[in-house]
Amino acid sequence: MKSNTEQKAAFMRSLWQGFLPVMAYACSSIYMVISQAYVLRHNKAKDVNYSTLLLMYQNICGIMLYFPAVYLGWQTFAFFDTKAAYIMLPNSALFAIMVYSSTQAIRTLAVPMMSMLRNLAPITITLGPAPSNGVLFSMVLLIFGAYVAALNDLAFSLEAISSYSANSSSTRI
């Protein structure tokens, strides 16, 4: 039988290995979407490409996290390999297209709707092999929660379309 301190240590270890990484990922994901939406919707200066500035900020943050991890021995540094670069070129091009399209979408979509659309890709990837019932339930909750959160923010409704078409037709000369 384990002592009380051993049980507490095991609980803290499981908390550190499970709950904290998930919460850190969730918080950073929420921060990233909200900060991008704020910056991209509030353009104060003309002739400034905020999408490029956001990508530069994210890359600098990634580098600032990666190199200390290499120095501490948590990660290994992979040297450049030309063959691997050619293999990864289509993925890199598709990633660049995805980043561009997401920065264009985040300018107009509500944050909950953007989160729901962004999370559909990992959901469809996990549907390849048969996931467990818990994974399926969490995916349904994720989609339903994002839909409920975005319900009042959906601009694509019949009322919005009819008012937009009425306003645009009345302004034409």
Q: Give the model's pLDDT for residue 113.
A: 66
What is the rounded distance in angstroms from the CA atom of residue 136 to the CA atom of residue 157?
A: 29
Structure tokens at 25: 């990922």
- Which domain does 134 fall in, by range? 110-173
Share of the chain above pLDDT 90, in %: 0
pTM reported for the whole predicted model? 0.42
**Tens digit of each residue's pLDDT (9 = 90 or more) over 52-68:** 777 777 788 888 888 88
Q: Is residue 20 part of a domain?
A: no
Domain count, the chain: 1
Interval 119-131: pLDDT, tens: 666 666 666 667 6
Tokens encoding 153: 């923010």
Alpha-carbon dihedral 4, 6, 8, 13, rounded to 10 degrees: -170
In a domain, 62, yes or no: no
